[in-house]
Amino acid sequence: MRNLIISVLLLSIYAYSPSFSSLKNQPNIILIMTDDQGWGQTGYNNHPVLDTPNLDAMAENGLRFDRFYAGSPVCSPTRASVLTGRSNDRTGVLSWGYALRTQEKTIASALKRVGYSTGHFGKWHLNGLSGPGVPIFKNDSHNPSKFGFDQWLSVSNFFDINPLMSENGVFVDLKGSSSEIIINKALKFIEEKSNQNKPFFTVIWDGSPHIPFMASKSDTEKFKSLDERSQLHYAELAAFDRSIGVLRDKLRKLNLAKNTIIWYCSDNGGLTEIHPETVGGLRGSKNTIWEGGLRVPGIIEWPSVIKPKVTKYPVSTMDIFPTIADIVGLDENDFIFPVDGVSIRPVFENEIRKRDKRIPFRYKNQGALIDNDFKLIATSISEKKFELYNLRTDPGETQNISTENPRLFMTMIEEFLSWNQSVDSSFAGLDYKEKKVLKNPESHYWNIDNRYEPFFKEWIKRPEYREQILKISKGRN
Ligand SMILES: [Ca+2]
């Protein structure tokens, strides 16, 4: 009798809990991001020298975005937008090397709350440190654990061949290609969770093809006709592409491929010093709010739901958290508002021509607002200098059409300025329950960080750290 009462009670709790019914759908989720891969740098976008057979296969089997936007034209801010669904300045991440505020709520914490195992593998860059990637301390106030990740193998910033990383706070000296190392580690995590019948949320933030450009001889040889830097840069992308193949194969072998979402993109636009060019003919590059700085490759593969197609629907990294929340059935309390992204789940099933919610950007004193074909650019927010472009007829952003479209121009300026004001309020901490910003580390290089000093004697032998350590000893002399 007692058992019956308990079951009836449980049944009624579940029956009236809105989150329970929606929580039945728990696909596995993998987010993959490259570092500085430009929009033009994929095989499927007809790159003249780079082949990406594995990304191409993923694109053929999934939803390929022709217009996928990084939340910002540089690294840490885009990462903040992925984890929060918000534009970077709201979260305190004004530029690279800034710390994500611990008052922000993340996708990892939300998924952990509903039973996902969460793991981060690779570049973190949200703990306030600049300089080549160093292993992150267990007691770092802004390490991945503090933002909802159960397990991690991470570094503070970019990393390359034979990296020194941190596994949940324990430093580990690893050998081999960085892409291969983190994919293998992520796959170990995935296999373990699948054996335990637990859904997993796996974030793989690769260090390729960011500087320093280091790659294996066999990968470099494919690009012999290029200058030395470009050879190595493209070789890094070849190694990354191979790791995508390893990941997809293994998911199939584990019988997980069908109900696993793999969402891949780059963290910002391509680099200028690489040849052939990296942005597929767009204007600008990394660090600019032109298309070349913001528009990046993007694909979602989810075989049990998504039928293969290419879409021109504009999407940004700010949409990732709201979309996953929609699929899994998270609730409003999992977010800090305002959220700038929107769920793009309807695009999985239908061809939707028009996006209702505009995509906003703010980076330093510049900004942009994308409304389907149109893009407003703020070349200086403080001086209220704006331009207007039609991306459909003029993808290279060559003709400012503001004079021909005065009404649209004014409407978009007004909307941008009011959004900009709301970003100022967020930056001041008004979105948090404390109504102010709590303490976060200032952005700084690790070579002036006392915690890392005891390692300098050993680390000066490492090619990736040597220059950074020499800089500080020169400063002291
Ligand atoms: Ca980057």
Per residue of the chain (477 residues), give pLDDT as tens: 454 444 444 443 333 333 433 445 899 999 999 999 999 999 999 999 999 999 999 999 999 999 999 999 999 999 999 999 999 999 999 999 999 999 999 999 999 999 999 999 999 999 999 999 999 999 999 999 999 999 999 999 999 989 999 999 999 999 998 999 999 999 999 999 999 999 999 999 999 999 888 888 999 999 999 999 999 999 999 999 999 999 999 999 999 999 999 999 999 999 999 999 999 999 999 999 999 999 999 999 999 999 999 999 999 999 999 999 999 999 999 999 999 999 999 999 988 999 999 999 999 999 999 999 999 999 999 999 999 999 999 999 999 999 999 999 999 999 999 999 999 999 999 999 999 999 999 999 999 999 999 999 999 999 999 999 999 866 543
Could you give the C-alpha distances from 30 to 45, 204, 391, in angstroms and in order?
23, 7, 31
The Å distance, Cα 447 to ligand 1 centre, comes to 21
Contact predicate 284/94, CB 8 Å: no
The Å distance, Cα 194 to ligand 1 centre, comes to 31
The Å distance, Cα 93 to ligand 1 centre, comes to 14
Location of structure tokens 């409003």: 332
The Å distance, Cα 11 to ligand 1 centre, comes to 49
The Å distance, Cα 444 to ligand 1 centre, comes to 17
Determine the pLDDT at residue 18: 39
The Å distance, Cα 75 to ligand 1 centre, comes to 4
The Å distance, Cα 292 to ligand 1 centre, comes to 13
The Å distance, Cα 24 to ligand 1 centre, comes to 36
Contact predicate 109/201, CB 8 Å: no
The Å distance, Cα 117 to ligand 1 centre, comes to 27
The Å distance, Cα 434 to ligand 1 centre, comes to 32
- At 227, which amino acid appears? D
The Å distance, Cα 123 to ligand 1 centre, comes to 10
The Å distance, Cα 210 to ligand 1 centre, comes to 7
CA 150 – CA 203 distance, rounded (Å): 12
- In sequence order, the 6+-apart residues with CB closer than 8 A to the CB of 352 are 313, 346
List pLDDT tens digits, range 18-54.
343 344 589 999 999 999 999 999 999 999 999 999 9
Q: Provide the sign of the torsion angle of the four alpha carbons 68, 73, 74, 76, taken in this order.
A: negative
The Å distance, Cα 401 to ligand 1 centre, comes to 31
Could you give the C-alpha distances from 153 to 61, 160, 236, 306, in angstroms and in order?
29, 14, 20, 30
The Å distance, Cα 388 to ligand 1 centre, comes to 26
The Å distance, Cα 125 to ligand 1 centre, comes to 10
pTM of the model: 0.94
Structural fold of domain 25-349: Alkaline Phosphatase, subunit A (3.40.720)
The Å distance, Cα 268 to ligand 1 centre, comes to 5
Determine the pLDDT at residue 39: 98
CA 268 – CA 33 distance, rounded (Å): 10
The Å distance, Cα 2 to ligand 1 centre, comes to 59
359-427 matches 25-349 in CATH topology: no
The Å distance, Cα 39 to ligand 1 centre, comes to 13
90 φ/ψ angles, rounded to the nearest 5 degrees: -60, -35
The Å distance, Cα 266 to ligand 1 centre, comes to 8
The Å distance, Cα 34 to ligand 1 centre, comes to 8
CA 433 – CA 39 distance, rounded (Å): 39
359-427 belongs to which CATH class? Answer: alpha beta
The Å distance, Cα 445 to ligand 1 centre, comes to 17
The Å distance, Cα 72 to ligand 1 centre, comes to 10
The Å distance, Cα 263 to ligand 1 centre, comes to 17
The Å distance, Cα 36 to ligand 1 centre, comes to 4
The Å distance, Cα 446 to ligand 1 centre, comes to 18
List pLDDT tens digits, range 273-332.
999 999 999 999 999 999 999 999 999 999 999 999 999 999 999 999 999 999 999 999
Helix, strand or coil for residue 80? helix
The Å distance, Cα 272 to ligand 1 centre, comes to 13
The Å distance, Cα 358 to ligand 1 centre, comes to 24
Q: What is the dihedral of CA 412, 310, 179, 302, to 10 degrees?
A: 110
The Å distance, Cα 331 to ligand 1 centre, comes to 31
Determine the pLDDT at residue 45: 95
What residue segments make up the domains of the chain, in order of their start?
A: 25-349, 359-427, 444-476
Residues, Cβ < 5 Å to ion ligand 1: 35-36, 75, 267-268
The Å distance, Cα 96 to ligand 1 centre, comes to 9
The answer, yes or no, to whether the previous bond of 276 is cis (omega within 30 of 0) is yes
